[in-house]
Amino acid sequence: MTFWALFSYLKPHRLALWVILFLLIAETGISLLIPYLVGQVTQLIVEPQAFTTPVIWLVLGWVALLIAQMLLRYQTGFRTNRIGAKVLQYMSCHIHTHIHALPMQYFSDHRKGAIVALLSNDVHVISFFLTGVLTGVIPALLLIIGVSVMLWLLNPMIAAVIIGCVPLFFVLVRILSRAIKPLAEQVTHTQANGVALVADTVQQMSLLKAFNREASVNQAFANNAEQLFELRKRMLHTQAFITPFIQLCIALGILGIVLLSVWHFQQHSIDLAQMITLLLYGALFAKPMGVLAGLYGQVQQAQGAASRIIGLLNTPIESHDEQLPRIDSEGALRGCVSLTAVGFAYPDRAPILHDIDFTVPAGTVGVIVVAILTTPVKFTGDSSITRSIISPLSSGTVPVIVPATKDEAA
C-alpha cells in the first residue's frame, strides 16, 4: 500500500463527492460573478444613460448572490465534514480489525502506546487531509482557472503577466518550504510518541505506583514535550518567514495589477468599470494562491502520519493455515509453573504475601481461592499472585520448567 492508496477510503462516497464538486463549482461561479456585477454597478453610476436596468435591481441581484453563496458554503461544509467523520469511522474500524489479525510478534516489537497513537493522532490527520484539505484545494484551483479566464476576456496582456508569474511563485514557495518536510515528519512522530507515553502510563499505572516509577515516567514525558517544543519552534520559525513572504508576493502582484490597470485606463484602452473589475479579480486571484501555497506543508504532515499507517497495514496478518495443537493432545504441552516461597511487598511497606508454594502442571487448570474481606482494605492477594508469575518478586522464585525430550537433549 502507498500514500495514494489511502484515497480508496473515499470510494464509498463518490456520489456525495460529486455533489460537493457541483456545489463548489456553483460557489466558484458566484465568486466570479460578483466582481463583474460590481463593475456593472460602477458603469451604471458613471454612465446611467447607457443602462435601462435600475441600479436597485443590480444591487438586489448582488445581495441574492451573496445569500446563495452563503447557503452553498453551508452545504459544502456540512457535507464535507460528514464525509470526513464517516471516513474517520471506517478507517479506524479497518485499522482496528487489522491490528487484531496481526501476529503476536508485532506486539512484542512495537509499543502498545504507538499502536494507540495510530488510532488517535494519525487517523485524524489522514481523515482531515482527505476531506478538509483536498476539498479546499478544489475550489482554489477552480477559482484560479475562472479568474484567469475572466482576466483574459477583460485584458489579455494583464492576464498573461499574472498567469506567467504563477509558476515562479510556486517555485519560490517550494524552495523555501523544503525545510518544513523533515520538521513536519519529526513533529508528527514526536506527537505520536507523546500519545504512546500516555497510553503506556495509563495501562501500567498500578505497576508504576507499586515500584515508585512515577518520577522516571514524568521525566520521559517532559523530555518528549521539550523535544516537541524545539521541533515546533524550528518549524514555526520557518513558517513565520514563509507566511509574510507569500503575503509580500501577493501584495506585489496586486500592486502590479493596479499599476497595469491604471496605465491602461490612462491610455483609454479600458474604462473605469473595467479597471475596477480588473482590480477585484486581482484581489480574488490572491486568495486561492495563498491556499495552494500552504498546501505543501499540510501534504508533508499527512505523509508522516500515512507512513506509519501504511507500515501497519502492510504488516502480514497472522496465518491460520496450520492446525494449532489441541490442549488435551498427548505431548502438546509440557512443563509446569512452580512458585516456591514467594513473598510480595510494595516498596517501604510491610509484606502482603508470605511463603506461597504451589505447582501448576502442563495441561491443567488451577484456581486461586481467596477469602472475601469486609475490612476497609479489601486485599485478597489473588491478583498479586498472578502478577508475581511475570513480575519482579520481593522474595521467592517462579521457575517455568519445560523438561527436554530425549531428542532435544541430544
Residue 322 located in a structural domain: no
- Domain of 151 in residue numbering reads as 3-313
pLDDT in tens, 52-97: 666 777 778 888 888 998 999 899 888 888 888 888 888 888 888 8
Residue 319 located in a structural domain: no
Do 371 and 308 belong together in one domain?
Answer: no
| CB neighbours of residue 210 within 10 Å | 18
pLDDT recorded at residue 388: 61
pLDDT recorded at residue 71: 93
pLDDT recorded at residue 354: 76
**Which regions of the chain are under pLDDT 50?**
324-325, 328-329, 375-378, 392-394, 400-410
Do 205 and 340 belong together in one domain?
Answer: no
pLDDT recorded at residue 212: 75
pLDDT recorded at residue 332: 55
Distance CA 370, CA 350 (A): 20
At a CB cut-off of 8 Å and minimum separation 6, what does 151 contact? Answer: 158, 159, 162, 278, 281, 282, 285
Residue type (1 letter), 91: M
pLDDT in tens, 279-303: 888 888 777 877 776 676 677 667 7
pLDDT recorded at residue 396: 53
User: Bridge-partner residues for 361, per DSSP?
Assistant: 336
Distance CA 370, CA 366 (A): 13
Do 257 and 350 belong together in one domain?
Answer: no
Distance CA 330, CA 21 (A): 65
pLDDT recorded at residue 404: 42
Do 265 and 176 belong together in one domain?
Answer: yes
Do 306 and 354 belong together in one domain?
Answer: no
Distance CA 226, CA 220 (A): 10
First to last CA, the chain: 46
Collapsing DSSP to helix, strand or coil, 373 comes out as coil
pLDDT recorded at residue 407: 46
* CATH number of the domain to which 103 belongs: 1.20.1560.10
* Residue finishing a domain among 313, 347, 366: 313
pLDDT recorded at residue 70: 92
Do 309 and 341 belong together in one domain?
Answer: no
Q: Which sign, positive or negative, has the C-alpha torsion 192, 195, 199, 201?
A: positive
Do 380 and 273 belong together in one domain?
Answer: no
pLDDT recorded at residue 401: 46
Do 26 and 87 belong together in one domain?
Answer: yes
Do 146 and 291 belong together in one domain?
Answer: yes
pTM above 0.75, yes or no: no
Do 111 and 258 belong together in one domain?
Answer: yes
